[in-house]
Amino acid sequence: MEIDVLNISGESTGKKVKLSKEIFGIEPNDHAIYLDVKQILAHKRQGTSKAKERSEIAGSRKKIKRQKGTGTARFGDIKNPLFRGGGRVFGPSPRNYGGKLNRKVKELARKSALAYKAQNKQMMVVEDFTLEAPKTSEFASIRKNLKLDDKKSLFVISERNKNLYLSSRNLQNSKVITISELNTYEIMNASALCFVESSLDVLQQNA
């Protein structure tokens, strides 16, 4: 499978890039994608919610009234969960939502997501470009030339570029990441995947 290389004006440069069959030509595995996306989203959860239980409330342990003869229900100390200011029953506590996923499953999931994008023609390759200074309007015009201004687009570059990052971060539905940050969730969450030529070379060399 080959794909045209475009310039930032949205025109073909006449060059073509051959897509690796080991990545873009495989049969996508939906379950691997599901497992990887689930793990990535779980790792984003902080898990820091906390409520004090009965044993953690500051207060007296003295029985507040006698057991029998009052005509009302029996109560123990002031930390009773039924009282205002009492401890919470089975309240939330800090936890880690992340789970283990085998490396080969994660690799299969990412390749499957890339294969979907290639097969559905939701992927393009742009020749290497850079911006001399952070300029949102310049990056917006590049998106417009590539007909990505109305799509949720993901630009993948080979290495960190502060000017590109700063130029894109204020635009809705646009994100710039490095090839090392590329994961299954980012691929599936974008409706248009745009590789800079050098980043695609790095991806295919390390496959």
For residue 2, what pLDDT is reported?
A: 85
Query: pLDDT at residue 207 above 80?
Result: no
Query: What mean pLDDT comes out for the span 40-54?
Result: 93
Residue 142, amino acid: I
Q: What is residue 14's predicted lDDT score, i.e. its pLDDT? A: 87
- Identify which of 97, 88, 6, 102 has the alpha carbon closest to the alpha carbon of residue 45: 97
Kindly state the average pLDDT of the residues 28-50. 94
Q: Tell me the one-letter amino acid at 63.
A: K
Name which of 137, 138, 165, 168 is nearest 152 in CA terms: 168
**91-150 pLDDT, tens digit each:** 999 999 988 999 999 999 999 999 999 999 999 999 998 888 999 999 999 999 999 988
Percent of the chain clearing pLDDT 90 (strictly above):
75
Please return the burial class of 100, using the count of CB atoms within 10 Å of its CB with bins 0-12, 13-18 and 19+. exposed
Mean model confidence pLDDT for the chain: 92
Q: Tell me the C-alpha distance between 157 and 174, whole Å.
A: 14
On the question of pLDDT at 10 being above 90, the answer is no
Considering the entire predicted model, what is its pTM?
0.81
- Give CA–CA dist 159/150, Å, rounded: 26
pLDDT of residue 1: 78
Domains of the chain: 2-46+100-205 (3.40.1370.10), 49-93 (no CATH)
Cβ proximity of 166 and 134 under 8 Å:
yes
pLDDT tens across 67-90, in order?
999 999 998 999 999 999 999 999
